[in-house]
Structure 1
């Protein structure tokens, strides 16, 4: 087995070095289901932009992803299909003009949509798209007035309390709702009939409490002149325009840019306005190739992939002086942030983080920052200039710790529980930016293994204490940005171990027992995206390379010598790496954007995590 491990490590490193771009980066596809592809077709058609080649290629990919049942899914084991994805694909195919309403391939699709409750039961994000295109009534959406944006920061509940991701979407959506905006043109498919006839919106007690709090805030503004409404509209417009990145996109996301374009149209911008033209060009640059054809990424993962890959190949023995690492480090240093963004309002620290996409200059996040810092650590030891960047990065990461001791994704202390009742699907995950076990574990792993801070350091100590409090009864931790309990447990174990928590610690022993308990008979690990929706571990019928690697790395850092679970797992991992490309384990999404709605197949993960795990095994056990 030793020889096979060495050969596999060598092959993975060689494959990755061959895939490196001339500028030092790696660009792998960040693939979600069909939302972005469908929305791109809809956007091009509603803007009268005649890019027939792109529309045709996107239509081809949609057809290839349709199931035999006529539906579209978010992940392989999703039963029947996903209602929102199916509506999005169905509407986009009709909008493309290349598909007729009576196309035989769509008969089952219509039946599925009606059976599942029609447009009324789709995700909020889908309904907003439909409302813009005149297929859903705005009165059923977002019962929040645009004046909400003007509630002062010192008030107990205001716009700035929301997560940056929620604010980025809410600014254009409030504008669109305020204007009741819908595109008026020929050629828009009419699918309103797929709604239920009567539609009552019933709000929960928590939602009503939220509305009451917002109303209190609005009452405090009563004495302000009546142009408050206009101020709210101007604020929303400025909020978007000030966050346009150099490539023309709004915060480097497809979804925010898509809604910004329509919000600008609602404000009176013309379809040919330079801001809109540049935004569409920025979105087109997000295209990547997949086995099923062209795909529009929601947010290209170049910085993330480059940071993780350059770290992984260094862990596999490639020297920091190697040309591939020097080029990667040079690229990453150019992508470090020097501009202040919204994150600075709460943190009071200097810029120094990294973002996810290469066009991202003002929206850094903790996970990308620790990934980039890991990748430049060895180089920083050799170069005072790189060391300065490394020091700035560490200062930024430590400065982003939440009051509770954990780490968030984008901004500190955006944790008001009432906001999880915001009247949009997915608000419990997206409206706030709380500490999460995966981000906290990853931050601790970096601070322990690379920055030399141990469990006695005050901030590390608080992080470890918070993690221990978050452990589930079965011994696992929930991971917010990966699937899901395996991911969170891996991050927590490796984070605590890196800061000096002993393997004998009861939290680590419980986690180890859980990982061994859920190991598949083939030796691997596999977890379904359903875990994320049911908030409990749901196994996949097959193992995946990244989840197997995460579970194994956790066990390797606990055990002084290989155990039967580890040896069986390593053999399974080697089989998964060398398996055929059409194996479903290679394409199963193991990243999460929005629980229940947005899952990510990172094309880079089948190289990165197995390479790190095999290198750890070889280094520790010889």
Structure 2
């Protein structure tokens, strides 16, 4: 990709929003409503202009700079370092450094040790000297924070590739894990989908323990006293954590005793597993970091760089690069065209764009080409379920998810397509697939069904807390429930069980936890519209408690925001500077709850209209998307556009919930 950070637009001129939007039946009743109508017009114009010629929308996804650093480390490891790429990536990393010398996971967040270590090494690769002021500040902060030894596991894995950290001081990941039965508590299928894409390649890499000559030393990043004996020797002695620490020591001791034929067979099985999951664009799951691990594994196993598999993979990594207009280069950890397109269609429909508008028809046609047609890893737990879901990315047949599938169905039901039978067939297949992915407790996870094991969170392979599995979450469950309601299936047993799951998982405050968006504002903004769409009345206690919580955390300026730290500290729940996307999420919940004419909604709408820029969009440097709570935050480039337009559209159109259909549901 060679776009700017703002994204590309379609090559053919869209129908002007002034001509595309349906007229309002009633005059505006208040100056705030009049301003909101003008904002909707400008926002719709802006979004229509951003559609790509092929019919999709896609914003640029930003995350912390660890992934740019890993890109440079991978290139150095493979011997394909490019001076232009290195210099441009270095400029990007340098531009994101905080005044104290650190790098954060989020905009205006505190320094993060693992990301800072990787960024420092990347800048050394880019030519920065350790005696430069910004590097001295960084190294001093790293040492004061415990040094490399205290950094996150991912950073130490990348350092081990160059001998800056010892493989002996990393957890043992035996490739023989590939042979465990799928239903075994610690099989690879006990982990969530994206962890599997790291775990299996990492097992191959750790079996080979490759090391390239280090281009320089990084002694300045080690705290006084040097590294400890190793993470396996640390940690609690009792409970599951202690048991797994002892297991790691056993695996380490058995490493040299594993019969050669057994180890070779395990490595062959791991490589076969990796190769079977490469996507059409050369990536693994459409994820840049996971593709990097797969490249490392295959190269360690002996695949030359000119092998077709690695050529395709390196091409996919290059396609994830975004060159900014000022000579910097960033990498997208993941691209989001399916998600962005579904949300854009819904936003434009909520704004009053007719169901037969060319932009919506083009989007529907494009979405239909992205429906998955073959079983993926999800079929291990649902072997008799026919495929039919959608994934997040351009190419990802292996890992469709319930969230994207639900949002695509909701979007397709807002369009009057050229081929109605084709859309109805696609929607029905997708609805059956999503229904079949319901977990036993009534909720839905993102990628797998019944991925609720907790033992995997205790293994020393990863240090991401309780997110190694894929249990049901409120945001995903809410989107599925809303989708089923839009298809006229309120009374379906699956819908009723999903509603019960949501009601049972409302927090004492009245909010819902947000797994894939930040955080309780997202979870609540998903849950309330879904419950109302499924028939829960406005005066139900759950809805009233949610309304009361949203009112209690509204900022004095009228907007809403939630700090990233809410994932670790409940004091930040619903608290933070106002942002467009988070304000929109709060408004979506309040509108669904029947609060359109209340003071909280009016103040929130006024904040959104006042924050709109001249070009009809909104500015949002904050990261409001979530990859892993507390570990990886994301800034999705279209969130600042689609969610405010959706909220303002529903406000001006007096529409309580988005779970509506332009056409009758299929039989």
Q: TM-score, normalised by structure 1?
A: 0.93
Is the contact made by 1:166 and 1:430 (CA closer than 8 Å) also made in structure 2? no
Q: Relative to structure 2, which stretch is displaced further, 280-289 or 399-408? A: 280-289
Q: Which one of 398, 404, 410 corresponds to residue 368 of structure 1?
A: 404
Deviation at 1:211, TM superposition (A): 6.6
Q: Relative to structure 2, which stretch is displaced further, 3-12 or 527-536? A: 527-536
Partner SS, residue 45 of structure 2 = helix
RMSD in angstroms over aligned alpha carbons? 2.5
Deviations 1:285-310 (A, max 9, x none): 01225587431001111111111111
Q: Which has a greater percent of helix?
A: 1
Partner SS, residue 593 of structure 1 = strand
CA distance in 2, matches of 1:503, 1:415: 32
Is the contact made by 2:173 and 2:461 (CA closer than 8 Å) also made in structure 1? no
Deviations 1:461-513 (A, max 9, x none): 11111111111111111111110011111111111111001111111111111
Deviations 1:576-616 (A, max 9, x none): 22389999x61100001022221111110111001111111
Residue 118 of structure 2 corresponds to residue 84 of structure 1: no
Partner SS, residue 393 of structure 1 = helix
Query: Relative to 1, partners in 2 of residues 1:60 and 1:531: Cα closer, same or farther, differing over 3 Å?
Result: same
Q: Which one of 316, 319, 327 corresponds to residue 282 of structure 1?
A: 316
Equivalent residue number for residue 394 of structure 1: 431
Deviation at 1:541, TM superposition (A): 4.4
Query: Relative to 1, partners in 2 of residues 1:521 and 1:67: Cα closer, same or farther, differing over 3 Å?
Result: same
Q: Which one of 349, 356, 362 corresponds to residue 385 of structure 2?
A: 349
1:457-496 aligned within 5 A: 457-496=492-531
Deviation at 1:156, TM superposition (A): 4.0
CA distance in 2, matches of 1:32, 1:156: 32
Q: Which one of 133, 145, 157 corresponds to residue 116 of structure 1?
A: 145
Query: Relative to 1, partners in 2 of residues 1:69 and 1:291: Cα closer, same or farther, differing over 3 Å?
Result: farther
Partner SS, residue 335 of structure 1 = coil
Query: Relative to 1, partners in 2 of residues 1:179 and 1:33: Cα closer, same or farther, differing over 3 Å?
Result: same
CA distance in 2, matches of 1:604, 1:38: 25
1:134-173 aligned within 5 A: 134-173=163-202
Is the contact made by 1:426 and 1:595 (CA closer than 8 Å) also made in structure 2? no
1:124-523 aligned within 5 A: 124-182=153-211, 184-185=212-213, 187=215, 189-191=217-219, 194=222, 197-200=226-229, 201=231, 202-204=234-236, 205-210=239-244, 227-289=261-323, 293-347=328-382, 348-379=384-415, 383-448=420-485, 450-454=486-490, 456-523=491-558
CA distance in 2, matches of 1:134, 1:215: 21
Is the contact made by 1:165 and 1:430 (CA closer than 8 Å) also made in structure 2? no
Query: Relative to 1, partners in 2 of residues 1:103 and 1:360: Cα closer, same or farther, differing over 3 Å?
Result: same
Q: Relative to structure 2, which stretch is displaced further, 400-409 or 526-535? A: 526-535
Greater RCO, CA 8 A, separation 6+: 2
Deviation at 1:2, TM superposition (A): 2.4
Deviations 1:539-559 (A, max 9, x none): 554200010000011011112
Is the contact made by 2:350 and 2:653 (CA closer than 8 Å) also made in structure 1? no
CA distance in 2, matches of 1:294, 1:545: 26
Deviation at 1:192, TM superposition (A): 7.7
Is the contact made by 2:477 and 2:502 (CA closer than 8 Å) also made in structure 1? yes
Query: Relative to 1, partners in 2 of residues 1:344 and 1:566: Cα closer, same or farther, differing over 3 Å?
Result: same
Q: Which one of 541, 544, 562 corresponds to residue 579 of structure 2?
A: 544
Partner SS, residue 377 of structure 2 = coil
Is the contact made by 2:244 and 2:460 (CA closer than 8 Å) also made in structure 1? no
Is the contact made by 2:627 and 2:634 (CA closer than 8 Å) also made in structure 1? yes
Q: Relative to structure 2, which stretch is displaced further, 380-389 or 603-612? A: 380-389
CA distance in 1, matches of 2:596, 2:178: 57
Query: Relative to 1, partners in 2 of residues 1:63 and 1:581: Cα closer, same or farther, differing over 3 Å?
Result: farther
Q: TM-score, normalised by structure 2?
A: 0.87
Unmatched tracts of structure 1, length 5 or more: 219-223
Is the contact made by 1:468 and 1:507 (CA closer than 8 Å) also made in structure 2? yes
Is the contact made by 1:419 and 1:427 (CA closer than 8 Å) also made in structure 2? no
Deviation at 1:425, TM superposition (A): 4.4
Q: Which one of 52, 55, 63 corresponds to residue 32 of structure 1?
A: 63
Residue 597 of structure 2 corresponds to residue 601 of structure 1: no
Is the contact made by 1:422 and 1:431 (CA closer than 8 Å) also made in structure 2? no
Equivalent residue number for residue 566 of structure 1: 601
Q: Which one of 101, 109, 113 corresponds to residue 70 of structure 1?
A: 101
Residue 86 of structure 2 corresponds to residue 55 of structure 1: yes
State the aligned residue count. Answer: 611
CA distance in 1, matches of 2:36, 2:617: 23
Is the contact made by 1:151 and 1:217 (CA closer than 8 Å) also made in structure 2? no
Is the contact made by 2:553 and 2:575 (CA closer than 8 Å) also made in structure 1? no
Is the contact made by 1:32 and 1:599 (CA closer than 8 Å) also made in structure 2? yes
Q: Relative to structure 2, which stretch is displaced further, 269-278 or 320-329? A: 269-278
Partner SS, residue 61 of structure 1 = helix
Residue 77 of structure 2 corresponds to residue 41 of structure 1: no
Deviations 1:73-116 (A, max 9, x none): 1123423x1111111111111123x2223223211011011011
Is the contact made by 2:245 and 2:460 (CA closer than 8 Å) also made in structure 1? no
CA distance in 2, matches of 1:465, 1:68: 48
Deviations 1:228-256 (A, max 9, x none): 32222112111111111111112211111
